[in-house]
Structure 1
Amino acid sequence: MWQQFCLVAPRARKYRHFRANLEQILFERDLIEKLEDLVYLLAVPLKSHQRTISSSVYTSQYTNMNNSPIGIFRLPREIHLKIFAELADARDCTTLGLTSVYFWSLALPVLHDKWAAYLGPWAGEKIVCVGDLVKANDYPPGLFSDAEILSFDQPEIRAALDLGSFFDEPKPVTLYDFSVFVMGRHQRLGTIWKGTEETELLIRCINSFADHSLVFNGPPKHDFKNFKEHCFYPRDQPWVLRNLTTKEFVRSEAIALKPEFIQGPRIRGIGFPHVILSRICWSSVPNADIGGLTEITRGVWAGHCFDITQLSKHIEMTRGETWIDVSSEVMDDISRIWERKYGPDWQERVIENIER
């Protein structure tokens, strides 16, 4: 039976819609970007102090402005940093930075951390890819307590969801209802490097000045190269997907069809999102669009907590702990699903589509 699926982090009351069935999500090129959002939901980005800011103004010669005759510059650097930290909107931070070379040098790392804060918001959260045919009281083990489940099924919640308006008997709340605004909110991502967001932000900030001569004559547009994807997710280090609930991990090089397909936490072709999705789906009805695989809608990892992090950080953080590398097991599952779709030469087919 056809059903559409949605990613939910029910305890965080957040969701991301696919509005598609599993076959479309896993195999259709038009949905690749939506599927890759799962990387940005789970991958923990670098903070500004963990990287090098590349800018002609980001040098020590601008770190001391206490001799300036202008009042605000006479304040200690720590106060300036506090002011930037209090600016919640990236536009305000950028606009203040554009007033001087010195402020721009302070704005760059602050802007990095503000955008990094929008990345990896579901790292450590319990997540499920839930089908719209899931029945009431059908939840992955350990996702909610009995008391929490009872609390969802209140008359006011059913009324807000409009459950029962067209039924003789009130329709109970299901896990799929966490994908609507009454029970949750759409998860926003701060992928500043996508499209023309950087240029549009800069133009809006410059145009906010009544007098454009107040904008310092510097290279701010060039400096926005500091906010490309690889600045948050370096590509020169291996990454791992971690199941924090079961203490299992999957290595990027073990699932990539070619080493050159690995781009930090993103992997062209088969990547971490495919691994997660093949194991976190949940529905009361078997899936009919992927070769009749029943177990895919009773995912062994449904409702678990995950993150995607650098292998070096994983090793450092888990010293003395026991973690299991399940890369081979996961790749066997992926092979089984893709072979049902494309046949025994599925890897060649996927590689051909990528390199086309």
Structure 2
Amino acid sequence: MGQYWKLINFDKWLMVFSRGVKTGQFICSLDGVPVLDFLVVPDLKDALSPKSELARTREYNVASRLVTLPQEIFDAIVTELPHIEDILSLALTCSYLWRVLLPNVKYSIEVIEAPWAGDRLIFVGDYARGFPPNCKDYENENMPEIEMDPREGITPEAVDANPLYYGINYSLSSGFCIEELMKGRAGDCPDIQLLLRLVTMLRSHPGSQRPGVLRNLTKQQYVLDSKLAESKYPYSLVEAIVVRTRWTWDTSDADGVDDWVGDCFDIRSIEHVPEGWTDVSDETINLIGDAMIHFTRDPDLEGFKLTSRQVEYARAWVK
């Protein structure tokens, strides 16, 4: 009968809700597609302004008391700001502070638009036990608080044995865009539209195709979305994560494929793939193919196939 699976973010202690509980079902159900939006790091222009431009805008905004503060005091204020929205609001105070805080602004945009970038992801099976070697953070009973629903029949013993499968019960929710985040703090103020215009100017390729390279930051490997699109298995990049991060003690069901378990990922444009990294697109496509062949041979899942509409939806995120 095989085992059931969940895609989890170990660092955020979140799971991806799925209607498909076996590997092939998860791939075909496309429930993992929203993860892509959480991994795509936006391409932004250089966040440093020339000294001459900083001097000019400082002189223009010298009436502001913030501008005249000693640099160490201003840096201390920025350090104490508790929320990303506060950084962005301060940057909108005047043109000088916008330029001074551009590195902070750039980082804030990346955190808002790619909240899972750099996190450890695992496709965990219900036969798994304990933690993968590179995910030992919670072994000393320092786990996040777990709320168990007695109606689900999950026992404390099951959580202790397989904490990644049974202990994570909060699902991935929809992310925030910059406009929504700012409105939640400041209401419908004119500065939001100014912020959106300035952020658009920061983007290297506004309105163009989104980045299409899955980067394994731990192994220094990558998968090209363009190669997936041209293959017999035109799924999205999240399936590349699924077939290479399976964690279970029953290796017969996962073909022993666990070389990316607990690794850190993001999605960038090809310009952000450093020289010397390894293209593993072809072998990843083969692994997706193996998973689908195994899936279609399961007599209990006859007829559970990907439709052309599902393929179109899965690929729409890069348009």
TM-score (norm 2): 0.64
How many Å apart are 1:277 and its aligned residue?
A: 0.7
Question: How high is the sequence identity, in percent, across the aligned residues?
Answer: 17
The residue identity in structure 2 corresponding to 1:8 is I
Q: 1:85 to 1:227 in 2, by over 3 A?
A: farther
In 2, distance between residues paired with 1:106 and 1:201?
A: 25
Q: Deviations over 1:1-59 (max 9, x none)?
A: 4865333344x362233243244532235x3xx43315634x5555663599xxxxxx7
Does residue 117 (structure 1) correspond to residue 117 (structure 2)? The answer is no
Q: In 2 relative to 1, CA 85–116 (structure 1 residues): closer, same or farther, beyond 3 Å?
A: farther
Alignment of 1:254 onto 2:227: yes
- Quote the residue 2:46 is aligned against: 49
Q: Which runs of 5+ in 1 are unaligned?
A: 53-58, 207-214, 259-268, 287-293
Say if 1:5 and 1:160 are closer, same or farther in 2 by CA, change over 3 A.
same
Give CA-to-partner distance per residue, 1:170-228, whole Å, 9 cap, x none. Answer: 554313244147xxxx77886525xx62673585273xxxxxxxx88994453353587
Matches within 5 A, 1:2-13: 5-10=5-10, 12=11
Q: Unaligned stretches of 5+ in structure 2?
A: none
Name the SS for the 2:59 alignment partner. Answer: coil
The alignment partner of 1:72 has SS state of coil
- The secondary structure found in structure 1 opposite 2:257 is coil
2:218 counterpart residue number = 244
1:104 Cα deviation after fit: 4.8
Give the TM-score of the pair, scaled to structure 1: 0.58
> 1-side partners of 2:292 and 2:309: how far apart?
9
The corresponding residue for 2:81 is: 87
Equivalence for 1:314: 273
Cα offsets for 1:109-154 (capped at 9, x unmatched): 53331232356565555431113x32545x55x3467x975x45x9
Structure 2: distance between partners of 1:271 and 1:126 = 19
Trace 1:216-295 onto structure 2 (pairs within 5 A).
219-226=194-201, 235=209, 239-242=213-216, 244-245=218-219, 247-257=220-230, 270-283=235-248, 295=253
C-alpha separation in 2, matches of 1:217 and 1:134: 48
Q: Between 247-256 and 332-341, report the one with greater CA deviation.
A: 332-341
**Number of the residue aligned with 1:330:** 284
The Cα of 1:69 is off from its aligned counterpart by: 4.0
Structure 2 CA distance for partners of 1:219 and 1:38, relative to 1, 3 Å? closer
> Is contact 1:241–1:249 with CA below 8 Å preserved after alignment?
yes
* Root mean square deviation, CA, Å: 5.2
Distance 1:19 1:351 in 2: 15
Structure 1 residues 178 and 94: CA distance shift in structure 2, 3 A = same
Cα distance between partner residues in 2 of 1:242 and 1:91: 29
Q: Is the 8 A contact 2:222 2:281 kept in 1?
A: yes
| Structure 1 pair 45–36 and aligned structure 2 pair: CA distance change class (3 A) | same
Q: Tell me, yes or no, if the aligned pair for 1:129 and 1:281 is still in contact at 8 Å.
A: yes
1:176 maps onto 2:149 in alignment = no
8 Å CA contact retained: 1:14, 1:179: yes
